[in-house]
Amino acid sequence: EDQVTQSPEALRLQEGESSSLNCSYTVSGLRGLFWYRQDPGKGPEFLFTLYSAGEEKEKERLKATLTKKESFLHITAPKPEDSATYLCAVQGDKSGSEKLVFGKGTKLTVNP
């Protein structure tokens, strides 16, 4: 069974204090690993897709990386507006499966 574990559950940073969020996964044949950002009371917003180990994607202060067992979301010099819950999800190659398996998320708070 495909599984995703995110750590830490919650993270508090000071503005400008860089850090990383972790997403550990087990999946039968990775077809994609996805990162989403979710603001309170809203639907998740797509950030990145990673397909193979060694791949990296960047967007503003965020950088996502992928190994065969985990993905990291690196946040460089965060600002208060980066405060949100970050969700990780995987899609495997089980026959007929178009579903994503989600982790429970990391709630990030960036204090000014």
Partner 1 sequence: DVKVTQSSRYLVKRTGEKVFLECVQDMDHENMFWYRQDPGLGLRLIYFSYDVKMKEKGDIPEGYSVSREKKERFSLILESASTNQTSMYLCASSLLSPGQGAGYTFGSGTRLTVV
**Binding interface with partner 1 (CB under 8 A):** 30-32, 34, 36, 41-46, 49, 51, 87, 89, 91, 98-100, 102-105
User: Residue 64 in contact with residue 73, Cβ under 8 Å?
Assistant: yes
Least distance in angstroms from the C-beta of 14 to partner 1: 26
Give the nearer residue to partner 1 in terms of CB position, either 43 or 112.
43
For partner 1, the closer of residues 78 and 92 by Cβ is 92
Q: In the numeric block, which tokens belong to residue 76?
A: 């460089």
- Spatial distance between the Cα atoms of 61 and 11, rounded to a whole number of angstroms: 16
- CB of residue 46 vs partner 1: minimum separation in angstroms? 6
Closest distance to partner 1 from the beta carbon of 8 (Å): 14
Q: How far apart are CA 63 and CA 35, in angstroms?
A: 10
- Residue 25 Cβ vs partner 1, minimum distance, rounded to whole Å: 13
- 3-state DSSP call for residue 61? coil
Question: Of the two residues 9 and 17, which places its CB atom closer to partner 1 in the complex?
Answer: 9
The CA dihedral of 92, 94, 96, 98, to the nearest 10 degrees, is -20
Residue 13 tokens read as: 């940073």
Smaller CB separation from partner 1, 65 or 91: 91
